[in-house]
Chain A
Amino acid sequence: QKEVEQNSGPLSVPEGAIASLNCTYSDRGSQSFFWYRQYSGKSPELIMSIYSNGDKEDGRFTAQLNKASQYVSLLIRDSQPSDSATYLCAVNYGDMRFGAGTRLTVKP
């Protein structure tokens, strides 16, 4: 089974805090992983991709990949109200499989 699991939330954090979003996947052979952000009523937009174990940082966003434990996470530092959205984890199993998403709310 090609599964991608995310906690649906909602996850609520205060402005300025760190938001931590997690995703687990079922196939150890997966090689590429993506985080997309989707505002309500809009299309998904790519935040980050990660292919190797460890951390990858881009501005306030850090993606973390642990292939042995089959999870990938996204940390958002200094969260802003504009970060309020649904975050989709995607895993490439030969075709792209998406999780159902975690809804994040950042409260001012």
Chain B
Amino acid sequence: NAGVTQTPKFQVLKTGQSMTLQCAQDMNHNSMYWYRQDPGMGLRLIYYSASEGTTDKGEVPNGYNVSRLNKREFSLRLESAAPSQTSVYFCASSFGDLLDTQYFGPGTRLTVL
């Protein structure tokens, strides 16, 4: 039982490049989330998915797209990376909705040059 897994662990991009961050959970959770964490700012919600086939914007969605591929997988795409997107990205999941306890993956450290 791996919990929440994320790939890659580290990534360096040049401005304008695109990439997709992958997240998968094996806990049969219904909801999945993408956060970014910047120094001094805490975790901020980018997008979330309450169920397969649905996605909703969080606090900071600009510059990102998401796909809930199936119940297990939730990907985050940066179409044209910018230095302001340098951050640590965490995926999380919960059995219920946003009121429920969230379990976090190990994170992806992204640097955009």
A64 to chain B, nearest CB (A): 19
Set A8, A46, A95, A101: member contacting B98, Cβ < 8 A = A95
The answer to whether the Cβ of B90 comes within 8 Å of any Cβ in the partner chain is: yes
Encoded as 1 (CB less than 8 Å from any A CB) or 0, chain B from 4 to 45 comes to 000000000000000000000000000001000000111111
The answer to whether the Cβ of B58 comes within 8 Å of any Cβ in the partner chain is: yes
Most A Cβ at <10 Å: residue of B40, B99, B105, B107: B99
Task: Note all chain B residues with C-beta closer than 8 A to A75.
Answer: none
Interface of B (DSSP majority class): loop
A34 touches B90 (CB 8 A): no
Known: A94-B98, A95-B48. A45 touches B104 (CB 8 A): yes
Bound: A34/B94 CA distance, A = 14
A44 touches B98 (CB 8 A): no
* A-side interface residues, number (CB < 8 Å): 22
With both beta carbons as reference points, the residue of chain A lying nearest to B38 in the complex is identified as A100
The answer to whether the Cβ of A32 comes within 8 Å of any Cβ in the partner chain is: yes
B104 to chain A, nearest CB (A): 4
Residues facing B in A57-94 (CB within 8 A) are 88, 90, 92, 94
Task: Note all chain A residues with C-beta closer than 8 A to B99.
Answer: 31-32, 92
With both beta carbons as reference points, the residue of chain B lying nearest to A41 in the complex is identified as B107
Task: Note all chain B residues with C-beta closer than 8 A to A100.
Answer: 40-42
Bound: A49/B40 CA distance, A = 23
Residues facing B in A23-70 (CB within 8 A) are 31-32, 34, 42-46, 49
Known: A31-B99, A92-B98. A98 touches B43 (CB 8 A): yes
The answer to whether the Cβ of A107 comes within 8 Å of any Cβ in the partner chain is: no
A43 touches B107 (CB 8 A): yes
Name the 3 nearest CB pairs between A and B, nearest first: A43-B104, A98-B43, A98-B42
Q: Can you identify 6 A-B contacts, CB atoms within 8 angstroms?
A: A43-B90, A43-B106, A46-B102, A95-B48, A96-B45, A98-B42
